Amino acid sequence: MKILVVDDDCLVCKNVKSKLQRIIGPDKLFCQTAVSVVEAKLLLQNEPLPDILVTDLNMPGFSGFTLIKYVKEHYPEVTIYVLSGYDDYQLVRQAFLSGADDYLLKPVDVEELREKLFHTSGKSRTESAVKDFQFESVLSFIDENISRDITMDEAAASIAISYNYFSRRFKELTGYSFPEYVNRRRIELSKAYLQDPSLKIADIAYKIGYHSPSTFSRAFRKYEGCYPTDYRRIQNVPTE
């Protein structure tokens, strides 16, 4: 396993490297350390690419956020863990939005590190969180904002998950891309509204986020095989 540890405190780098050696074994671990973003970039460019990057966020000069964005842009296959303190929630949240996959609390606990590396078979604690806390919170967010244009950026930010990670996990969990799920959800909600004879087709269209009744009608026919007016007739909903 190849791991790169980045922290401006060389003692932290040595400490994390030592714990990694204890967990993985020195004969199975290729671990490098860097005390700045500049040094880390040089290693990334000139040495074997790591499987995992462990980086601090608060460093003089270029911050860990700069490194996270650089790695996500140039080496998206690298898993990124950020080092954080107990009071760094906002920084960790920003790190997730920048592309981080998981975090480690300082001082790094051997068992926590072991769990992240092996116990979940390569799946980080963040991934598990997306399944549980993810997931339901995001679905609620979609329903609450269904009347307007919703972007995947907003949904990912609502639970402090990176855009790319969110996109992959959302499709794994729902079977649909984010836009496809939103469209299908709009149609499902519209079917309930169509049961109410007091609501006009135009009213329903705007309530579920369509900009015009005609756009809504076309989308409804795509998913249901008939127009909203036909659906009402099939359901025996009284009309004016």
CATH code of residue 84: 3.40.50.2300
Residue pLDDT, tens place only, 81-118: 998 875 667 788 788 888 888 888 888 888 888 878 87
Q: Are residues 170 and 97 in the same domain?
A: no
pTM: 0.52
Residue 205: give its domain's CATH number. Answer: 1.10.10.60
Q: Are residues 12 and 115 in the same domain?
A: yes
The mean pLDDT of 1-29, rounded to a whole number, is: 91
Integer Cα distance of 46 and 160 in angstroms: 32
**Residue 239, in any domain of the structure:** no
Contacts of 83 (CB under 8 A, 6+ apart): 7, 12, 16, 54, 55, 56, 57, 103, 104, 106, 108
CB burial class (10 A; 0-12, 13-18, 19+) of residue 196? Answer: exposed
3-state secondary structure of 4: strand
Q: Are residues 109 and 32 in the same domain?
A: yes
Q: Are residues 152 and 83 in the same domain?
A: no
**Residue 192, in any domain of the structure:** yes
Q: Are residues 9 and 115 in the same domain?
A: yes
Q: Are residues 32 and 50 in the same domain?
A: yes
- Segment holding 84, helix H or strand E: strand 79-84
CB burial class (10 A; 0-12, 13-18, 19+) of residue 125? Answer: middle
> What is the residue range of 157's domain?
132-175
Contacts of 30 (CB under 8 A, 6+ apart): 1, 2, 3, 48
Enter the tokens of residue 21: 């050696």
Enter the tokens of residue 228: 């909203």
Integer Cα distance of 61 and 198 in angstroms: 62
Q: Are residues 20 and 84 in the same domain?
A: yes
Could you tell me the end-to-end alpha-carbon distance of the chain, in angstroms, rounded to an integer?
A: 69
- Report residue 37 CA to chain centroid gap: 24
Domains of the chain: total: 3
Residue pLDDT, tens place only, 196-211: 999 999 999 999 999 9
Residue scoring higher pLDDT (195 or 168) = 195
**Residue 147, in any domain of the structure:** yes
* Contact between residue 167 and residue 152 where contact means Cβ atoms under 8 Å apart: yes
Q: Are residues 110 and 136 in the same domain?
A: no
Residue pLDDT, tens place only, 46-67: 988 999 999 999 888 888 999 9
Which ranges of 37-124 would DSSP assign to H, the alpha helix? 37-46, 64-74, 89-98, 110-114
